[in-house]
Structures are given as C-alpha cells and as structure tokens.
Chain A
Amino acid sequence: MILICGIPSEAPVRLVIEAAMAQGARHAVFSQREAHFYDLHLAVDEAGVSGRLYMRHAEWRLEEFSGVYARLMDFRDLPEHQPHTPGALNQDERHKSALMHSALDEWLEMAPCPVLNRSSAMASNGSKPYQAQLIARAGFRTPETLITNRPEAARAFLAVHGRVIFKSISSIRSVVKELDQVRLAELERIRFLPTQFQAFVPGTNIRVHVVGAELFATQIDTQAVDYRYAGQDGLAVTMTPIELPPSIADRCRHLSRLLNLPLCGIDLKRTPDDQYVCFEVNPSPGYSYYQERTGQDIAGAIVRYLMK
C-alpha cells in the first residue's frame, strides 16, 4: 500500500496517482486540503513507532504503508487556511489541520518505509552553498561561487569570470539573474545582505531525475539564462530525453544517496569541452513539467520504487 500526500490535482501528485492506478498499485491519497477531516494516531513507546490513519471513511495502520510519496506544500499557504476567504476553515479546523500536517511530517521522519522525500533530507536545499559542498563531495564540479556583501569583491569576481549570475543563497526567491550593467549600478545594495554570485557556465542544460536507481536525463535547449522562466522572457524551450555517460549517471545516483534523496532533480550543464557541472539538487522536483514534454515515465518509476 502506497500513501500519496499532497494536492491531488497538482500535476506531480496527479501523475503518481495515475501511475499507481495504471500499475494496479494499492494506494491511499492524503489530500492536504481535506486534512481537517482526517484523523491520525501516532505512538512512540517500548514497541517503537506505530499508529493509525483515518481518511474518507477508511482506516489504515501506518505500518501497512510500503512507501510514501510526499509533495506537501506549506499548509499555511493552503487556500483553506486563509481567514476571511470563501471556504476558509474556522479556527478549530485550522488548528486540527496544522497539527495533522505536523504529525504526518513527524511520522514520515520516523517511518521505516521508503519516503520520497523526508523533510529533514529536503532541508539541504535551504542553503545552496551548503548543498554545493555536498555536491562537490559526490565528485561533481560546481560553479565558482562568491557570497559577499562587498561590492568591490563582486566587481573583482566579475572581472575574473567575465560573465556572472546572481541568485539567492537560500531556497527563497530562487531566480537566477545575470549581473549586467543595470544590476552593477545597484551593487551597493549588497552591503545590507551578502549576495551569492556565480561564474556563468556556458553549455547545455540537463535535468536528471533520480528515482532510486532509475535515471531520467532530459536535455533542455533554450537561450534563457534560467530555462524555468524562459516563457516570461518570451524565449522557447525544447526538451529531449538523453543518455548520460555511465560515469555521470553513477555520480548522480551517488549524489542522490549522499543527500538521502531517493527522488531528486539534479540540474547539470554540459560545457562545450564536455564537462558536467552541477548547479543544485531539487529535493521535491516538479518532474511533471519534464515528463509531459518528453514522455519519460518518472511517475511510474516513483510507484515502482515505493512498491518494492
């Protein structure tokens, strides 16, 4: 029995539900927006961890679940949690939904079954330079990086590398922008808060989705600096499934294990001299964007992994 947690209409969650149905995999869906209707019992005692989950007139022992796919958004951002909006929960319902989410997350951290992914492992993405150090440990090259609040240091970095991008250090507001003449004129602002600069790495974007031992590599061709936002700049994106060199594929699996993220989206660039540079690892990848454009059966792999 697989437990699928999230917003069932959201594409990555929907595709896992559809894949489970296609594979005939028994599954239950924890819909975040209905959490205040559900019930959970969680116990830690001399027998270890145990519990029960009640959803939509059905009940399961937590030990029944062979694996969990969890793509949970912050419950505080759910429409039902916004007071004074149509369909808003009352205070008691919000309280119950909040505790339900906290207890579910707590159980996922302790559950003996595979979980895609645990929030403790996903937290490595909260600091990109921290994660970059782990990426380097896995054997990948990472972009040359400077985090500073000294404008002169940023200018010197630009002088060395010629072309530089900047992006957030944390996972908030994670948009990549180029340090162009307009931004250079505003550089004094970094004195208030250190900012992350990276040498621009030329080459072809590749997104690798790792699901356990299965790998799905997608080449992305675009002129945009950040292909995720190419549409906003009116630029086209094409995606093509590719095979990675075995050594790079092994490195991706190793990185996935190192980060304790059996499901992850690894952002690579293949440089003109055929080197692979790793930018970051997305711990809760919106893989549907790639699956729907390439036909790669990533959702199917997720279900297979959780059924093992």
Chain B
Amino acid sequence: MKPILILAHPGDRLARRVGGWLQSWGGPDCVKLIGVEQIALAPDWRHYQTRQGVTTHIRLADGAILDDRFGAVFNRLQQVELPHFAGAAAADRAYALAEMQALLLSWLHSLPCPVINRASPQGLGGARRTHAQWLHLAHAGGLPVQAYHFSTNPRRFSPPTQVNSPLLSFRSPASTSLGGISQLEPITPLQIGADPTFFVEAVGAERRRVLVAGERVVGAVEGMDVDGCRRLARLAGCALLEIEWARRMAGEDGAWVVCGANSFPVGEDGGFVAAIGDLLVAEAAPSPGPLVSTGGEERGVREKGAGGL
C-alpha cells in the first residue's frame, strides 16, 4: 500500500491522533504528516497545467519531495498562513493569502489519489456551510432537524409560537458570520426587540456526535437515522462528516434531531479516529472503482483527478 499523506495545521489534534493510529497500524513509513506552513513556504513549487493534464512538483524546505507516491490524503487544511507576509500592507497580505489558497485548491483538486475531505472553493478542508444550510441539507436528506429562525426585526417578523417546542433566542454580537449558534449570545424573551435575532428550538442537554466515514457511521444510537446520516454526507459531498444530534424536548418523546454538522470533524473519540484510519487505509489500497459516490457533479473520493502530483 502507498503511504498516506496528512496535511494539517500544527494544533490539529485529530490529525495527529489519526497519524498515530496509522503508524500503529502500518509502521512509521505508512504515513507522512506535513504542516500547512511547510507546504505554503515550500521553496520549490511547480504546478503545470498542459494538454496532457496537471502535474505538480513540490520540494519542501527540508528537501522532501511531494510526488505521486501517496495512496490517499487526509486533508485538514483550512486557513493558509504566510508568516513572511506578516509585515506587509493588509491588502498585499490578503492578496498573498488568496493566491496561496487558490494554488492549494488547484493542487489538491488535481491529486490523482483520493483526498479526504476534498478541497472546495468554499474551503480547503471541504465546503463550509452556515448553520441554516446544514440544517437545510439535513432536511433534504430526510433527517429531522432542530427548528431555526432568523429575523432582522422580530417586531415585524417573529417566528411562530411553538407551544410544544419552545424557541431560544440569540443575538449576534458583532460577527456577520452565520456559521454557528455557538458564536451567538443568548438573550431572554424580554430582550427581544427590533434588532436582528436568531431563534432555535430548545433541545435537551444530551448531545451526540456521529461520524460518517465513507459508508460507516460511528457513534449513532437507537432512534437516529443512520441511512439519513449517509445521505447527508453524500449530499454534502463529504467522505467524512460529523453530525451533531440532540433530543427534542417535547412533542415526540425526546426524539433525536440534527442540530448541526461539520465537514471538518473535530471529535477525537477513539472510534472516530479508528474509522477515519480505516477509511484512509481502504482508500489508499488499490481498488477498481468508486468507493463513495458523492453524486451530481461531485467526484467520488476514489475517482482520479486530471494528473499527477
């Protein structure tokens, strides 16, 4: 089996744990962990696009060469950092970061081996979605979801009163991001006025994270729609997807509902680590066809890119 490449940020504990799992499984030569700054600061980048396809040569500062010897990539890249532009004007720094981000996306997309999760124009580590978009996708996948409302002015547009499912209210302090409820400040009903307000269905304190890793679903308990989890991952175009569940407080005997998802899993549970390791090993092994179909225009994780690394 070809070795597995892990691309990660220095503080990525899940990436390190998966790296450790792979080393335990196949020895030190079966995995190589590379930091984002090593790639971004590589002294020799040559990314060719020709009529024959895409080829890339990267020589890192320590002399290591990234070539086509890898069987799979565990892609944990998110935000690029370019320390040598730290002192540059803000516009120049933003330009440099956008340029490197654009190059990394093209490179990751061109890799001939499976890349998990696939890089996307919406995020190097996989397409980012807002909280509402994840709930919408979960609903489209047939999963029950925690109700979500946003109103720029609750005095004009207030969410319907739900006696059996009380809504909690939040406001966004300064951020314009609608990324997640955790970024919001809870407010009391008395504080609701004409300012932008978020409302989410109150759910029980018990939370569960479920990981979809290829066709495997880890961490699900009775009452959760396991096939629906796989459908959501396929709809999202993710080989790896973390789904957060909570129990509905009323109405359906505490039924489980989806209250969030993340294409950049962070759970370090041993079962998650093993599932990711297993998936990477399976993807790195030679196989005749797609293992995970992501549907539509999205490529299956086994499907090959246009050229070589």
Residues of A participating in the B interface, judged by any CB pair closer than 8 Å: 38-46, 48-49, 52, 54, 92, 95-96, 98-103, 106, 109-110, 120, 123-124, 126-130, 132-133, 136-137, 141-142, 144-150, 153, 168-173, 191-194, 258, 260
CA distance A71 to B129 in the complex (A): 21
Residues in A with CB closer than 8 Å to B101 are 126-127, 170
Residues in A with CB closer than 8 Å to B47 are 129, 145-148, 194
B136 at the binding interface (Cβ < 8 Å): yes
Interface residues of B in 75-97 (CB under 8 A from A): 82, 84-85, 94-96
Residue of A nearest to B157 (CB): A41
CA distance A25 to B3 in the complex (A): 59
B109 at the binding interface (Cβ < 8 Å): yes
CA distance A191 to B85 in the complex (A): 12
Task: Indicate if the CB atoms of B45 and A136 lie closer than 8 Å.
Answer: no
Residues in B with CB closer than 8 Å to A191 are 43
Task: Indicate if the CB atoms of B136 and A150 lie closer than 8 Å.
Answer: no
Interface of B is mostly: mixed
Given contacts A129-B54, A130-B121, A142-B49, 10 further A-B contacts (CB under 8 A): A38-B152, A41-B151, A46-B147, A54-B157, A92-B195, A98-B176, A133-B109, A144-B48, A147-B46, A170-B102
Residue of A nearest to B53 (CB): A136
Residues in A with CB closer than 8 Å to B133 are 106, 109-110
Residues in B with CB closer than 8 Å to A100 are 152, 196
Task: Indicate if the CB atoms of A45 and B121 lie closer than 8 Å.
Answer: no
Of A41, A136, A149, which is within 8 A of B149 by CB?
A: A41
User: What are 25 residue pairs bridging A and B, where the CB atoms are less than 8 Å apart in the complex?
Assistant: A40-B151, A45-B148, A46-B139, A95-B176, A106-B133, A106-B178, A120-B122, A126-B98, A127-B101, A129-B54, A130-B109, A133-B110, A133-B305, A133-B306, A137-B306, A144-B51, A145-B49, A148-B47, A149-B43, A168-B95, A169-B102, A170-B101, A193-B85, A258-B297, A260-B297
Whole-angstrom distance from the CB of A110 to the nearest CB of chain B? 5
Q: Known contacts A46-B145, A99-B172, A145-B49: does B159 contact A41 (CB below 8 Å)?
A: yes
Task: Indicate if the CB atoms of A45 and B145 lie closer than 8 Å.
Answer: yes
CA distance A120 to B237 in the complex (A): 13
Whole-angstrom distance from the CB of B133 to the nearest CB of chain A? 6
Q: Known contacts A110-B136, A144-B51, A149-B44: does B157 contact A40 (CB below 8 Å)?
A: yes
